[in-house]
Amino acid sequence: MGRLGVIIFLYATLLSAQDVESLHQFNAFFKPTAKLTLQAHARVRSNDNISNIFQFRGGPLAFYAVKPRLSLIAGYYYIGQEVRFRGDIDAFHRGFGGVQIPLIKNSTMVLESRTLVERFVFTPTGNFTRGRQRLYWQKQGRTLMPYASVEGLYAQQRGTVRLGLGLIRQLSPTMQLGFGYEMRQYNNGSVGHIVTSNLQFTQKREK
């Protein structure tokens, strides 16, 4: 069977014993000025082995390049999440801000650091603040571009980790499509396995 076959078999067995989720995103980026980037974001999540849609969110973001290697970030998400025992939807809000720093950016790869502070309000468990630190790597190219990320989150005196990897395909000069996998550590100690997709539009500014 070989080592690779054994690894795939063991991993498939692990996933089959747990809930597999999905996360599908759409992002559109617009550049009204050379320094300002506006983003429209929408996302849908499912659980129960990708059979039940339980969460959606959407909202605007803004990135402002203070320096070539320092951008400020501000944004807001409206979030709706299913409450199973009541059979309805809880709606809450997330505002956030922070900084993004490209540690390496050239024709072959991008490595960037993002630090955010988020405020959740009107959540079922009460208002709270969360901090998050992400390190993201992506290979540059014309067709297939692999990526990987590691992120640490801290909220309500508990820290968690998220790991992600996948592939991005350049469909056209303005469109990208990505597929990947994400492992999430939740506050209750469980681990989530998530299949991800991302369709992204980027406006090209005329020089």
Predicted pLDDT at 13: 47
In this predicted model, what pLDDT tens digit does every residue of 37-92 receive, in sequence order?
A: 999 999 999 998 888 999 999 999 999 999 989 999 999 999 998 876 556 788 99
In this predicted model, what pLDDT tens digit does every residue of 111-140 receive, in sequence order?
A: 999 999 999 999 888 899 999 999 999 999
In this predicted model, what pLDDT tens digit does every residue of 161-171 receive, in sequence order?
A: 999 999 999 99
Tell me which residue has tokens 């959407």.
58
In this predicted model, what pLDDT tens digit does every residue of 84-114 receive, in sequence order?
A: 655 678 899 999 999 999 999 999 999 999 9
Q: Model's pTM, two decimal places?
A: 0.87
| CA-to-CA dists, residue 87 to 19, 55, 156, angstroms | 20, 13, 27
The CATH code of domain 20-202 reads 2.40.128.130
Identify the CA nearest to 141 among candidates 112, 170, 164, 166: 170
Looking at residues 155-177, what average pLDDT do you find? 95
Non-local (6+) Cβ contacts of 204 within 8 A are 173, 174
Predicted pLDDT at 86: 59
Non-local (6+) Cβ contacts of 191 within 8 A are 18, 183, 184, 185
